[in-house]
Amino acid sequence: MENSYITDQLQKRFSHDILEKDTDGDILTVIVTAPVIHEVIRFLKENENMNFTFLTDLCGIHYPDRGLPLGVVYHLHNLTENVRIRIKTFVTLSNLTVPTVTDLFSAANWMERETYDFYGILFEGHPNLTRILNVEYMDFFPMRKEYPLEDPTRLDKDDRYFGR
């Protein structure tokens, strides 16, 4: 199965909702709008010509310098053709909602909970969207890039030893 075939099929069905396609990398990457992510994943899984029946991974990402800073990345695998695809969708900080895919892949349950736990992305329709690794009373999302990597007020650190 060629990348051009996959992108053509997606373009025919979701032309207005495809924001970007990248066929140059090691894996085909398609960026779609958040409201249609469930239908795109369903199409890739249930269409007999696509047959991406295995959800390899689902995770969150944060690019604070973009207009749509938070996103979800889905990796799907067509086992019979040994083809992989990466689907991305992005949301704003004011609207963190993405449709759940737990009805399509039961394995998405914990992956979506982990993404919520670390990034604060809300999966609409998820059966139990609660924290999975962090304590339930935590009031922030630790994987967001909202905090400096180092404490600039530290005096006990000598930058000469760190190549600066």
Q: Which of 1-5, 101-105, 129-133, 155-159 has the lowest average pLDDT?
A: 155-159
Number of domains comprising the chain: 1
pTM of the model: 0.89
Would you give the end-to-end CA distance of the chain in angstroms?
Answer: 49
Please give the pLDDT value at position 41: 98
Please give the pLDDT value at position 71: 97
**Per-residue pLDDT for 164 more than 70?**
no
CA distance 40 to 31: 10
Condensed to tens digits (0 to 9), the pLDDT of residues 82-112 reads 999 999 999 999 999 999 999 999 999 999 9
Per-residue confidence at 123, pLDDT binned at 50, 70, 90? very high
Please give the pLDDT value at position 43: 97
Burial class (CB in 10 A: 0-12, 13-18, 19+), 151: exposed
**Range(s) of the domain holding residue 16:** 3-162
Could you give phi then psi for residue 35, rounded to 5 degrees?
Answer: -60, -25
Condensed to tens digits (0 to 9), the pLDDT of residues 52-68 reads 999 999 999 999 998 89
CA trace torsion 122, 53, 32, 127 (10° rounding): -10
Per-residue confidence at 146, pLDDT binned at 50, 70, 90? confident
- As a whole number, the mean pLDDT across the chain is 93
Q: Which of 139, 35, 39, 54 is nearest to 105 (CA)?
A: 54
What CATH number did the domain enclosing 90 receive?
A: 3.30.460.80
Please give the pLDDT value at position 163: 66
Q: Which residue has the tokens 């010509």?
A: 49
